[in-house]
Amino acid sequence: MVDPRLSEDVFIEILIRLPVKSIVKLRCVSKTWRDLIRSPIFIQRYQNRERKQSVLLVKRYTTRQYEDEAILSFHNPDFPELLVSPYLSIPVLKDIDFPKIIYSDVQRYSDVQIYGPCNGLVCIPVDNIIFLCNPALREFKPLPPPNIPCPNGYQIWAFEFGFGFDPNTSSYKVMQISQIGADNYEDFHLKLDHYERFDLYNSTSNSWKHIDEKLPMITCLPSFQTLFGGAFHWYAWKDINDYPYILCFDIRTEAFQLLDFPDDFPEAEYLSSLTVLNENLALIGIQRWRGEPEPSQIIEIWVMKQYGVKESWTKQFVIGPYMDCCPFLLLNDEWLLVESDNGRLGLCALHENKFKGLPFYGFRLSFRAMVYEESLISLNDIISSDCENE
């Protein structure tokens, strides 16, 4: 029972200052505590609390019992080398027979992507199954598959995804962009015959609908896909010979928009990253530098001071030169989180030429990281049991 000397509001104020893992344990104290902690009012108060603690959530690989296992690990953003919670195995991966791919002469499992976070939830597509996950509660829930017709002689070659929240309808939405093209690989690879299809999942109805929209070509850059300002962003081209764009999808209005890159942005697009700096959209690019004794690269960070306005792009930082690395996240306006060419996670200082290696290794281009705020939102409370596709 709640201490009778405390009002319920005071008791709630005490609880919402605790981390999720402590609150979960307190659900076992009594039925009264459990019902209070699970109540929508408490969950909303916890979500809106002022003193939020951010966690660096990293998707990486670890070797356990001679197998490469994809895990989520939780780190202190100020000291990323420190774990703040036990790592989370992704159990849904263990029952799936992944196709193996060859990368840099190393045979490994095809990569697992993670999208979000949004209100403490993330989206993890795995082998044609899409899971929502609350890492703090250790919850996974599969979504119904979209119904994607494929004409004769065509097949689905690639997927891209997005994930966000619509405050107008209090619903979570998952975006799936499918590349459908000729089942002859050479024809598809040469872009002779293919099209993009956009399908949208809504958690309120637990259903998918097709949005009939002519889309540009989307490139899978895991460190580029970003939720910002109520819109999800991807790397795209209008045409294979055209300049790249940023494709945006407004989750509330379900409308698309194209944003321009800065005119002088570096051309090494396969290492481009999109992130957030001081509540502005930030673009990270690479300038190759043929220096001595070995080739290296300069990292440029551009900030869009006014969202949607090309002329507001401003080059904020130029750091390096560093050895080859893949940048993908800014931490605390002081560090840039990168993956080095040997698959090691590291930090590049923004205000001085300094590199700090972290004790985490993986496959080349296998990391994914995001700043994450823990949530008590249960997947069972947001996903309807009804299921239908439009």
Please give the chain's pLDDT, 390 residues, in tens: 455 556 777 777 777 777 787 887 778 777 877 788 888 888 888 877 766 778 899 888 776 554 567 788 899 888 888 888 888 887 666 555 444 433 333 333 446 789 999 999 999 998 778 999 999 888 999 999 998 888 787 788 778 899 999 999 999 999 999 888 777 666 555 555 677 889 999 999 999 999 998 888 888 777 889 999 999 999 988 766 677 899 999 999 999 999 999 988 876 555 688 999 989 999 998 877 655 555 578 889 999 999 999 999 999 999 888 777 788 889 888 899 988 877 788 999 998 888 888 888 776 667 888 988 888 899 988 886 554 444
Q: Which residue has the tokens 């996240």?
A: 329
Tokens of 367: 């990391």
Residue 297 to residue 327: CA distance in whole angstroms: 11
User: What is the secondary structure of 87-152 as a DSSP string?
Assistant: EEE-GGGTT--PPEEEETTEEEEPP---EEEETTEEEEEETTEEEEEETTTTEEEEPPPP-----T
Angle between helices 31-38 and 40-47 in degrees, nearest 10: 60
Q: What is the pLDDT of residue 91?
A: 67
In this prediction the pTM is 0.84
Q: Which of 55, 58, 66 is nearest to 345 (CA)?
A: 58
Domain segments of the chain as ranges: 1-52, 84-259+365-390, 261-361
Q: What is the pLDDT of residue 101?
A: 36
Q: What is the pLDDT of residue 385?
A: 57
* Phi, psi torsion values for 134, nearest 5 degrees: -105, 100
How deeply is 84 buried, as exposed, middle or buried, from its count of CB atoms within 10 A (0-12, 13-18, 19+)?
middle
* Phi, psi torsion values for 92, nearest 5 degrees: -65, -15
CB 331 within 8 A of CB 337: yes
Question: What is the amino acid identity at position 80?
Answer: P
Q: What is the pLDDT of residue 276?
A: 92
Per-position b or e across 295-321, b if 16+ CB within 10 A of its CB: ebbbbbbbbbeeeeeeeebeebbebbe
